[in-house]
């Protein structure tokens, strides 16, 4: 679901939503720390990609 949301944010119809969800994306990334199995890495890459886009 996070992949779909991050992909949507980078589309023209999703760009206006980024400011509203920026803080929540940061919280998700922070809370995913130390989960293991590469999950934290995947979450971090997805969110960094969105942040770099904006």
- Per residue in 33-43, pLDDT tens? 989 888 999 99
Question: What is the per-residue pLDDT for 40?
Answer: 92
- Per residue in 2-32, pLDDT tens? 999 999 999 999 999 999 999 999 999 999 9
Q: Which residues of 20-48 are buried (b: 16+ CB within 10 A; e: fewer)?
A: eeeeebeebbeebeeeeeeebeebeebbe
Query: Domain residue spans in the chain?
Result: 2-53
Question: What is the per-residue pLDDT for 36?
Answer: 84
- Report whether pLDDT(50) > 90: yes
- Report whether pLDDT(47) > 90: yes
Question: What is the per-residue pLDDT for 37?
Answer: 86
């Amino acid at each position: 679901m996070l992949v779909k949301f991050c992909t949507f944010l980078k589309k023209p119809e999703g760009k206006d939503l980024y400011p509203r969800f920026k803080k929540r994306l940061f919280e998700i990334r922070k809370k995913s720390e130390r989960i293991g199995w590469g999950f934290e890495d995947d979450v971090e890459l997805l969110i960094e990609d969105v942040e770099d886009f904006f």
